[in-house]
């Protein structure tokens, strides 16, 4: 038992405080390990995302350090991915016949910004402006024209929906402020009158 711990707590708590300290150290070590694993996975998925976009002819200036990259408001994310024999994430999935196949899901999102993102979150429309492409492609086939066209269609769809939402938000902002009902106005006037009476009574008492 440390002298600091002994001085901090009564002697009768010595054993339970020692156990508390030991458990906290174990939890801290587990949390650090979890954070390291998450960071490693982020880096790996960032590299996978870069590789997936290259299949579409989209070159990134640098490898993402997380599973997300945004280009002109279009955000890409690897939603589902394959795994190597050792369990590490991969774009190619080993098949039972010994061959491999590209097998992953690419998520395409129209990324709202600023006040539009805040309004989107306020309405809890987290499902909107997202299109997921499920890729199943033979690596021996160099023709990705169909997948490229599907990606272009997905970008058009999420862009159309995202921009339509922005137009709606702009329309809401342009609406005149709602006027109070007669009942609300009467209540407000009564509150003002009561406050005025209280102030006058207080001033009269102070004068005495």
pLDDT mean by block of 10 residues, the chain; 208 residues:
60 91 90 85 91 94 93 92 81 84 92 82 69 92 94 94 84 66 72 80 61
Q: Write out the residue range of the structural domain in which residue 40 sits.
A: 3-174
In a domain, 203, yes or no: no
In a domain, 185, yes or no: no
What pLDDT score was predicted for residue 146?
A: 94
In a domain, 208, yes or no: no
What pLDDT score was predicted for residue 198?
A: 80
Both tokens assigned to 66: 């997380």
In a domain, 53, yes or no: yes
CA–CA separation, 170 and 163 (whole Å) = 11
Q: Where are the alpha helices (DSSP H) in 56-126?
A: 114-122
What pLDDT score was predicted for residue 204?
A: 61
Task: Name, in order, each residue with C-beta under 8 angstroms of 189's C-beta and a sequence gap of 6 or more.
Answer: none
Decide if 108 contacts 132 (C-beta within 8 A): yes
Cα torsion at 39, 44, 49, 55 (round to 10°)?
Answer: 170
Count of structural domains, the chain:
1
CA–CA separation, 84 and 43 (whole Å) = 16
What pLDDT score was predicted for residue 1?
A: 46
In a domain, 201, yes or no: no
In a domain, 197, yes or no: no
CA–CA separation, 10 and 13 (whole Å) = 6
In a domain, 188, yes or no: no
CA–CA separation, 165 and 114 (whole Å) = 13
In a domain, 107, yes or no: yes
């Amino acid at each position: 038992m440390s002298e600091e711990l002994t001085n901090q707590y009564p002697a009768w708590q010595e054993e339970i405080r020692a156990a508390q300290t030991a458990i906290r150290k174990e939890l801290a070590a587990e949390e650090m390990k979890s954070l390291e694993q998450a960071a490693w996975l982020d880096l790996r998925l960032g590299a996978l995302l870069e590789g997936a976009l290259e299949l579409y002819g989209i070159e990134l200036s640098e490898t993402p350090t997380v599973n997300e990259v945004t280009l002109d408001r279009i955000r890409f994310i690897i939603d589902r991915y394959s795994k190597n024999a050792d369990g590490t994430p991969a774009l190619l999935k080993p098949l039972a016949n010994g061959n491999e196949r590209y097998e992953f899901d690419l998520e395409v999102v129209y990324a709202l910004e600023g006040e539009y993102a805040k309004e989107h979150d306020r309405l809890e429309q987290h499902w909107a402006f997202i299109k997921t492409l499920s890729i199943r492609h033979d690596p021996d086939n160099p023709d990705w024209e169909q997948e490229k066209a599907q990606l272009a269609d997905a970008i058009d769809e999420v862009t159309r929906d995202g921009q339509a939402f922005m137009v709606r938000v702009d329309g809401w902002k342009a609406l005149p402020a709602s006027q109070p009902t007669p009942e609300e106005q009467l209540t407000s006037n009564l509150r003002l009158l009561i406050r005025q009476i209280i102030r006058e009574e207080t001033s009269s008492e102070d004068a005495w």
